[in-house]
Amino acid sequence: MNELPRLDFAHLPTPVEMLPNLSAALGGPELFVKRDDQTGLGLGGNKTRKLEYLLADARLAGADTVITAGADQSNHCRQTAAAAARTGFHCVLVLYPPAAFAGQAEHIRTHPSGNLLLDHLFGAEVIWTEPEERDRVLAQTFEHLQSAGQKPYLIPYGGSNKIGAAAYAYALRELRQQQVSPDWVVVASSSGGTQAGLVLGARSLGFQGKILGISVDESAGVLQERVAWLANETAAHLGEELVLQPGEILVRDKYSRSGYGVVTPAEREALALFARTEGLLLDPVYTARAAAGLVDLIRQDFFEPSQTVLFWHTGGTPALFAERYQE
Ligand SMILES: *Cc1c(COP(=O)(O)O)cnc(C)c1O
């Protein structure tokens, strides 16, 4: 794999830990966790890895401002704001309440909590919109910045393009260097860059384990297409001659049906189980959903008892402190 230009601000390698109490509580396979909730900058998470490469590209492009979009509790936006502060970019965030919370838009704006509170603390400029208007407002804001004489750089939704996804191909290499070879890697998947990078890294390095994405908000078919497309774009960018088909991308979408950001009893159970057996914090939107999927799969005997399973923790814990999740 070619090495892309990188700014160095993540705490890497992130630790791999065993989860013996959780394994015992579930009577399941041996469980590990890869602590990408501990990437260091601004409370960490998976987007920090991507941003090391995206902001390097922004700097090479001569940008002075980065702009991206997400939900009001977006971890991606919070990590972008922190990384921009650290590396000297002005940061503009286009935010919206997710569909399930549209009725609370005014309250959310005027009572920032969780990730949104941190966006403000990191000095990001926030522009509010609605989910359907996201791409239009993003493009419009980009043009406004340009005509105001700034040099904006657009970071895609979730940091998921061939540059951001490359960070997760390198992350799979990092896991290999830690001498860990799980039979399964289970990871929350949404904009697809994380899973695409892991799948690409696995294929290019001959890693035998399977990468299983737990969809947070999309149907399996849509996510498989997106991940395969992104993995192929990233492969070409890194000079790897390989092609992945959507059918080779492993996705479970059974747990995404309640909608983005909606906490159900399954997420609550997973949050409490991880906290009480291992002192490990999940986030209500992404990793609790993925962990609920993992727990469900273990209960269905999806994994062989002799197999090892690594839960790739993608972060998000500041959302635990969002006002809407307090009950
Ligand atoms: C963004 C995010 C994900 C999903 O990663 P993608 O690369 O968008 O698929 C998973 N977990 C957390 C905590 C996230 O913030």
Distance from the CA of 146 to the center of ligand 1, in angstroms? 29
Q: How confident is the model at residue 86, as a pLDDT?
A: 98
Q: How confident is the model at residue 88, as a pLDDT?
A: 98
Q: How confident is the model at residue 327, as a pLDDT?
A: 75
Q: How many C-alpha atoms does 89 have within 13 Å on its Cβ side?
A: 32
Distance from the CA of 203 to the center of ligand 1, in angstroms? 21
Helix, strand, or coil (residue 16): strand
The protein residue whose alpha carbon is closest to atom 15 in ligand 1 is 75
Q: How confident is the model at residue 259, as a pLDDT?
A: 87
Please work out whether the CB of residue 194 comes within 6 Å of at least one atom of ligand 1.
Answer: yes
Please work out whether the CB of residue 160 comes within 6 Å of at least one atom of ligand 1.
Answer: yes
Mutate to test the pocket of ligand 1, among 54, 78, 161, 190 (most ligand atoms within 8 A of CB): 190
Does 23 qualify as catalytic in the annotation?
no
Backbone torsion region of residue 192, taken as left when φ is above 0, otherwise alpha when ψ lies between -120 and 50, otherwise beta: left
Helix, strand, or coil (residue 283): coil
Please work out whether the CB of residue 283 comes within 6 Å of at least one atom of ligand 1.
Answer: yes
What is the value of pTM for the model shown?
A: 0.97
From the list 23, 74, 113, 190, the catalytic residue is: 74
Distance from the CA of 219 to the center of ligand 1, in angstroms? 16
Distance from the CA of 148 to the center of ligand 1, in angstroms? 32
128 close to 109: Cβ distance less than 8 angstroms: yes
Please work out whether the CB of residue 48 comes within 6 Å of at least one atom of ligand 1.
Answer: no
Q: How confident is the model at residue 43, as a pLDDT?
A: 97
Q: Which two tokens stand for residue 290?
A: 């993925």
Positive or negative: CA dihedral 302, 304, 305, 311: negative
Q: How confident is the model at residue 258, as a pLDDT?
A: 86
Q: How confident is the model at residue 36, as a pLDDT?
A: 98
Buried/exposed 76-86: b ≥16 CB within 10 Å, e otherwise: bbbbbbbbbbe
Task: Identify which of 229, 158, 225, 178 has the alpha carbon closest to the alpha carbon of residue 200.
Answer: 229
Mutate to test the pocket of ligand 1, among 36, 249, 256, 286 (most ligand atoms within 8 A of CB): 286
Please work out whether the CB of residue 36 comes within 6 Å of at least one atom of ligand 1.
Answer: no
Q: How confident is the model at residue 291, as a pLDDT?
A: 98
CA distances from 241 to 1, 195, 232, 235, 236 (A): 10, 19, 9, 7, 7
Q: Please identify every stretch of the chain with a pLDDT value under 50, giving residue numbers as ranges.
A: none
Please work out whether the CB of residue 46 comes within 6 Å of at least one atom of ligand 1.
Answer: yes
Distance from the CA of 190 to the center of ligand 1, in angstroms? 6
